[in-house]
């Protein structure tokens, strides 16, 4: 019985996700679902990315958090439309919450939506939000086994960001093991090696993302 109930939940979520995907496609909006563990540097990546892109394209932000508005407050400085979704303990966003959030935006004035999902590598991977692409964000401080332990996320990701490369020398992160496991799961996914602290590798990430968004034109 529990398996059937879960399947119904996922089916309902998927049905609504497809409606959202169609709606955004009609508006020529790309939506990117950023997924990471807590502490991978996802919000810092948002800050650096928004600073680089905000003057050349119109971006909206959906900020998912378990209980606080701290990350949303950090992103307010960019003067972009932002909607905060507090899940009240829930471990992921879903298409229903995204549908409600979209009502707060003027979609005719957006090129892209960035969704910062709740910090978790498991549940957010199971719930389609209607996004154009999933972006997996991991860091050298977490360990090198994420692609093989959480293959669903890395299999479905359109890009992978390996963050905190400036800390690599201070950890026991095995880069070769990470890279080989990633290629087993997703042989061709773009991998961006970044440091949000020092700025290393970010230009390549910005260039890829800008090209994806401008593909609307």
Pairing of strands 157-163, 133-139: parallel
User: Which of 159, 154, 161, 208 minimizes the C-alpha distance to 186?
Assistant: 154
Compute how many other C-beta atoms are within 10 angstroms of the C-beta atom of residue 6.
11
Domain with 172, as residue range(s), is 2-214
Q: Measured between alpha carbons, how far is 126 from 14 in angstroms, rounded to an integer?
A: 10
With tokens 């959030």, the residue in question is 101
Kindly state the average pLDDT of the residues 175-193: 98
Among 28-42, 62-76, 131-145, 200-214, the minimum mean pLDDT is found in 62-76
Kindly state the average pLDDT of the residues 169-180: 97
Query: How much is the pTM?
Result: 0.93
Per-residue confidence band for 7, with pLDDT thresholds at 50, 70 and 90: low
Q: How far is C-alpha 198 from the geometric centre of its chain's CA atoms?
A: 21
Structurally, how many domains does the chain consist of?
Answer: 1
User: Reduced to 3 states, what is the DSSP secondary structure of residue 66?
Assistant: coil
User: Which of 212, 201, 206, 204 minimizes the C-alpha distance to 32?
Assistant: 212
Q: Measured between alpha carbons, how far is 60 from 143 in angstroms, rounded to an integer?
A: 32
Q: Measured between alpha carbons, how far is 208 from 188 in angstroms, rounded to an integer?
A: 14
Q: What is the pLDDT of residues 98-156, one digit of tens each?
A: 999 999 999 999 999 999 999 889 989 999 999 999 999 999 999 999 999 999 999 99
- Cβ–Cβ under 8 Å, residues 161 and 137: yes
Q: Mean of the per-residue pLDDT values for the chain?
A: 93
Domain CATH number, residue 156: 3.40.50.300
What Cα–Cα distance (Å) separates residue 97 from each residue in 79, 84, 100, 141, 156? 23, 10, 5, 31, 21
């Amino acid at each position: 019985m529990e398996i059937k109930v879960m399947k119904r939940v996922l089916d309902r979520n998927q049905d609504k996700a497809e409606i959202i995907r169609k709606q955004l496609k009609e508006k020529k909006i790309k939506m990117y679902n950023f997924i990471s563990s807590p502490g991978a540097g996802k919000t810092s990546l948002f800050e650096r990315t928004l600073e680089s892109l905000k003057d050349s394209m119109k971006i909206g932000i959906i900020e998912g958090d378990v209980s606080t508005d701290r990350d949303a407050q950090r992103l307010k400085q960019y003067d972009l439309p932002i909607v905060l979704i507090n899940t009240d303990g829930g471990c992921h966003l879903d298409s229903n919450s995204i549908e409600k959030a979209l009502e707060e935006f003027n979609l005719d004035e957006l090129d892209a939506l960035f969704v910062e999902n709740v910090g978790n590598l498991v549940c957010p991977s199971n719930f389609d939000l209607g996004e154009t692409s999933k972006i997996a964000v991991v860091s050298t401080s977490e360990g090198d086994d994420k692609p093989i332990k959480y293959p669903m996320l890395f299999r479905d990701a359109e890009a992978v960001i390996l963050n905190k490369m400036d800390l690599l020398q201070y950890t026991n992160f095995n880069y070769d093991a990470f890279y080989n496991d990633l290629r087993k799961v997703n042989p061709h996914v773009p991998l961006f090696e970044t440091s949000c602290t020092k700025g290393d590798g970010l230009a390549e990430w910005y260039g890829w993302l800008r090209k994806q968004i401008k593909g609307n034109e």
